[in-house]
Amino acid sequence: MSDVTEREADAPRDSAMHELARDDSSRKRFLKMMGGTSAAAAFTIFLAACGEDEKKKSSGEPKQSSGGGSMKGDLEIVQYALTLEHLETDFYDAVIKSGVIKDKALAEVATAIRDNEQEHVDALTKTVEQLGGKPMKPETTFDAVIKGGAQKVLETAATVENLGAAAYLGQAGRIKSKEVLAAALSIHTVEARHAAALNKVVGKTIVPDGAFAKPASMEEVLPLVKPFLKA
């Protein structure tokens, strides 16, 4: 088992998610920061993804602060998220510049999503810097997709957005900083909305996983985006 997969399977007890599960006052402050009741619903879903059993096991242990210790893991996660956001931004830029989408309404949707992704890039770039890292930008290519025509582009957009939402969910239990977790939650919901809209456009259900979203690990996500990354 790889180091990344092992850490995800372990669901670290010093993560922000587990601190919020153990500490009621910390959870209330976090939910207030996230915006109240809608955030509470999102947190419940993320907590379920981490596992209620772990919460019960740790209920009798001393509380630990997510603010201490190494931020190396969070930096790795934010760099990973930044790579995905650059990929999405570059994808929509390439699609818009190509003019392959002739429908005006769909072209406007693509532009709106591209602008969202660029804002995610800007925010995550600053976060990497705040964590002491150097923001990385991958080189991307989408020529094969664009040559496939409008339908291929739309199907790829839906796939990428669904994958992005699953990727954020897959990292939730590993994040140690509550601030980074809050950012991940807020981006995850936007990616999921993009995915739902694009699923509708290509004739798929807006909830492909049913009532509860399924997370995806780095090992699952990275091979799927590799065709869009230049060697």
Find the range with the poorest average confidence among 92-96, 176-180, 203-207: 176-180
Higher pLDDT, 66 or 154: 154
Asked if 208 and 199 count as a contact pair (C-beta separation under 8 A), the reply is yes
Higher pLDDT, 59 or 171: 171
- Assign 178 a pLDDT band (cuts: 50, 70, 90): confident
Average pLDDT on 172-187 reads 90
Distance of CA 185 to the CA centre of its chain: 8
Q: Is residue 182 predicted with pLDDT exceeding 50? A: yes
> What is the DSSP-derived secondary structure letter of residue 202?
T
The residues, any chain, with a CB within 8 Å of residue 96's CB and separated by 6 or more, are: 107, 110, 111, 114
pLDDT, residue 18, reads: 57
- Assign 28 a pLDDT band (cuts: 50, 70, 90): low
Q: What is the mean pLDDT of the chain?
A: 81
pLDDT, residue 22, reads: 57
pTM (two decimals): 0.75
Find the range with the poorest average confidence among 1-5, 132-136, 141-145: 1-5
pLDDT, residue 138, reads: 96
pLDDT, residue 1, reads: 44
Phi first, then psi: give them for residue 69, nearest 5 degrees: 80, 180
pLDDT digits (tens, 9 = 90+) for 67-113: 444 578 999 999 999 999 999 999 999 999 999 999 999 999 999 99
Phi first, then psi: give them for residue 140, nearest 5 degrees: -120, 160
pLDDT, residue 47, reads: 46
For the chain, list the domains and their CATH numbers: 3-58 (no CATH), 72-228 (1.20.1260.10)
- Assign 173 a pLDDT band (cuts: 50, 70, 90): confident
Q: Is residue 62 predicted with pLDDT exceeding 90? A: no
3 state SS of 140 = strand
